[in-house]
Structure 1
């Protein structure tokens, strides 16, 4: 259901059910979780997530659900708590940065996955859809937490209660994603960004990622205290020593991720 490839310290996770527009049964997110757990041993220093074919991810696989044990309210609860949510939580807690390359539809849980990247880049034909209300369901995959923080309560409410498509260009204008690019440039731009991040000071990037997430919940004094703790950890790294030497020697640093 997915492919995992690691090259140039970038782990690329490709959702690989193009015949179903990458509709995601629970097993797909189990595979994503397993892939994420394998990244440290694989030497990955950044992650790129994309979809094969015409869509990023069209949401949970409702056709599969209809005839399976995950159909119905209790089944949906079990699928979320056992498969979808653990994978999304792992993604949020990674100590390395995440880029998502969004092609075509990013709907339902696929929308949540697309927006879980630190940098979401979308092709101009892509769109983001909180489709749940259209079939009598409620947002999941962390959407109710993520969307108001990204685009504010009013726009998050619009997406979740009206269930209308948000184009890639509107998403960029809203600040929902990093940027929208021409479709034929999507993978090249996303890969270049992932490689740039993978060549960076991995420990510092991971700590910054953690601080950004924590800062949305902390008061100012606690955020300042957290920054001091993170700076102590980053400051003791080999990358920090290299960065300071490079600055003093007026050259580009060569980070190793340590």
Structure 2
């Protein structure tokens, strides 16, 4: 059964069998980010935070493109008031990106067409897994229009592809094919055009069936490990493993292995 939480407006949200489908819904502007969309995106992500039944979040974009970045037409129309508008827009984008990264549930981004700008590329970098169609393209684009990168990409992109590669992408603004992005580690999987939805649904179903406490703990450890030494991380890994071993899901997982059956995880 599907529960529609946001069924109208610039961002849509529904939950089915533990999978939260979060969709950018401004296809006429290639899901270009303006303040109303960014505010709605933040609200939608927060709704996922408080739902105990959400096991995985799938972020996608309606229409031909996942997200072409900021809404250039809206920005240009602001004239001299643009700096104030962008301060508000950037604040909402930062809040939404941070909320995505802080979710316990894994976040999967589905990319068709372009993922560009601080918004498009930034959301890709904020995700845990990224599935892209073969024809998808990714780029920064900020410097090209006299702006600077945002959405945390000056940190997240470097952690994903390395500092030198991140510097090249952000300074020279190459348009990366899905295959090139996958080679850099920016995209997790590349799938044939027209098969994005089915591949993402399969991945989401796999994640939704996994042990949610273990997934959340793994996310936290990997993110913390990006800025920690191995020696700092080893005690935390040991603590988390011991803590998880006392959960119902860990006992269920061990029992399922011994009984040669599929485990039924409950998130406790």
* TM-score category (smaller protein): over 0.9
1:17 alignment partner, one of 6, 9, 26? 26
Deviations 1:38-62 (A, max 9, x none): 1233721100011111000000112
Alignment CA distance shift 1:213-1:164 (3 Å): same
* SS of equivalent residue, structure 2 residue 41: helix
Tell me if 1:87 matches 2:96: yes
Tell me if 1:206 matches 2:244: no
For residue 30 of structure 1, what is the aligned residue in structure 2?
Answer: 39
For residue 105 of structure 2, what is the aligned residue in structure 1?
Answer: 96
2:62 alignment partner, one of 52, 57, 78? 52
For residue 156 of structure 1, what is the aligned residue in structure 2?
Answer: 166
C-alpha deviation, 1:78, in angstroms: 3.3
CA RMSD of aligned residues (A): 1.6
C-alpha deviation, 1:174, in angstroms: 1.7
Q: Is the 8 A contact 2:104 2:219 kept in 1?
A: yes
Q: Give me the TM-score of the superposition, normalised by structure 2.
A: 0.91
Tell me if 1:131 matches 2:118: no
Unaligned 5+ runs, structure 2 = 1-9
1:105 alignment partner, one of 109, 114, 117? 114
Q: Is the 8 A contact 1:115 1:177 kept in 2?
A: no
For residue 172 of structure 1, what is the aligned residue in structure 2?
Answer: 182
For residue 242 of structure 1, what is the aligned residue in structure 2?
Answer: 252
Alignment CA distance shift 1:70-1:78 (3 Å): farther
Q: Is the 8 A contact 1:10 1:48 kept in 2?
A: yes
C-alpha deviation, 1:10, in angstroms: 0.2
Q: Give me the TM-score of the superposition, normalised by structure 1.
A: 0.94
Q: Is the 8 A contact 2:55 2:212 kept in 1?
A: yes
* SS of equivalent residue, structure 2 residue 198: helix
CA–CA separation in structure 2 for the residues paired with 1:130 and 1:243: 42
2:128 alignment partner, one of 75, 96, 118? 118
CA–CA separation in structure 2 for the residues paired with 1:71 and 1:158: 31
CA–CA separation in structure 1 for the residues paired with 2:81 and 2:243: 46
Once superposed, which parts of structure 1, at least 4 consecutive aligned residues long, lie more than 6 Å away?
A: none
C-alpha deviation, 1:74, in angstroms: 4.4
CA–CA separation in structure 1 for the residues paired with 2:81 and 2:72: 8
Alignment CA distance shift 1:233-1:27 (3 Å): farther
Corresponding residue pairs, total: 257
Alignment CA distance shift 1:222-1:134 (3 Å): same
C-alpha deviation, 1:37, in angstroms: 1.6
C-alpha deviation, 1:255, in angstroms: 1.3
Query: Relative contact order (C-alpha < 8 Å, sep 6+): which is higher?
Result: 1
